[in-house]
Amino acid sequence: MPESLRYTAAARFEAARTVAVLPDGHRCRRLHGHGFTARVWAAPDASWAPFAGAEVETLEQCLERAVGDLDYRFLNELLSVPTDEELARWLRRRLERQSVAQRSVPGIVAVGVQSTPDQGADLDGQGRVHVWRRFRFEAAHQLPNVPEGHQCGRMHGHGFEVVLHAVQPLAEGDHLGIDYDRLEERWAPFIHDLDHRCLNDVPGLENPTSEMLAAWLWARLKPQLPELSWVSVYETVTAGCHFDGQNHRIWKEFRCESALRLAAAPEHHPARRLHGHSYRLKLHLSAPLDQVLGWTVDYGDVKRLFDPVYRLLDHHRIDALDGLTQPDAAQLARWIRDRSAPLIPQLDRIDLEERPGCGVVLAWGDEAPILPL
């Protein structure tokens, strides 16, 4: 399957707003403020950046210039209804129409705005808005069908996180998609069922893997929320799964502390000097559900299979690795794919960040939810 490469960038801004389109008495009708995070995903052509390997940095600079007009502002002075959706729409226009000197961004795939760490809205290229809200509960579980000696066969627990994603068309005149409160209302009954419980005791969750929990939630939420598009379950901060009603996908996260220099960078450019990144790497896998074990692939197996590649990257100078003389984010992601896919056949997407929110998404399988990464 052909690959899809997207560059990503993130930037923060502090701003105040009121949202008058919400019902009387809603707290967001009052003057309030947020530490917002804006994100952009783009697939510009190869000649867009000043030099090969500068794409992530250039996209980040473009986004920072765009949000500069929002930082420490009263957003209602710029937008009559400054919802997260409208802010994303405003940012997309600004990124596409910046002056030649400021460098506009071609090939924008999506623009997102998070008003808090637990909620956000993303506007895709088809005019659809993807709204998401994160929830948390504390629970115990054990997996009854794993092989003897597997650590998940013992009773243990997690601070689980669930992200509900909902999608709907949003016309140019519409200011508000699905209100975050609606997602919260739909989630509220599940707190009683799941929080401070042993999941094995919940009817239908006798084998409470992440995948089974995501499907259990989908079956109960979808009739009440037709716009539901994905349910994401974060079992730990480094592993989780997504379910769209038909397909299960999982991801496993790694951190790599690596040194490098970009020999292709112009003379005197900082990237030409020896420097380093704390890389955030997510491996995404797609596979059928094992009807006995209740998972697609064991997270522990992913970690074990990836370990030979991980050992080459972590605490090493990566431009000295065989086949990686130009270790910009895109080439590094391809290098990881070429060495990991034979070890992990279910692998079909890699998210690689050099800095928080800034990096690449390399995919060669079916689409998965982009946010939250």
- How many helices and strands in the chain, by DSSP H and E? 6, 15
**Residue carrying structure tokens 């009052």:** 30
| Coil vs helix vs strand at 244 | coil
Contact 336, 350 (CB under 8 A): yes
Q: How far apart are CA 156 and CA 146, in angstroms?
A: 14
Reference 207, options 302, 291, 303, 135; nearest CA is 291
Coil, helix or strand at residue 289: coil
Token duo for residue 201 = 């005791």
CA–CA separation, 14 and 72 (whole Å): 5
**What DSSP element (H or E) covers 336?**
helix 329-340
Cα distances from 334 to residues 13, 338, 348, 361, in angstroms, run 32, 6, 12, 10
Active site residues: 152, 196, 235
**Residue 115 corresponds to which tokens in the numbers above?**
């008003």
Are the C-beta atoms of 180 and 84 separated by less than 8 Å?
Answer: no
Structure tokens at 113: 């705005």
**CA 130 to CA 178: how far, in whole Å?**
9
Rounded to 10 degrees, what is the CA torsion of 68, 71, 74, 77? Answer: 0
208 phi and psi angles, rounded to 5 deg: -85, 65
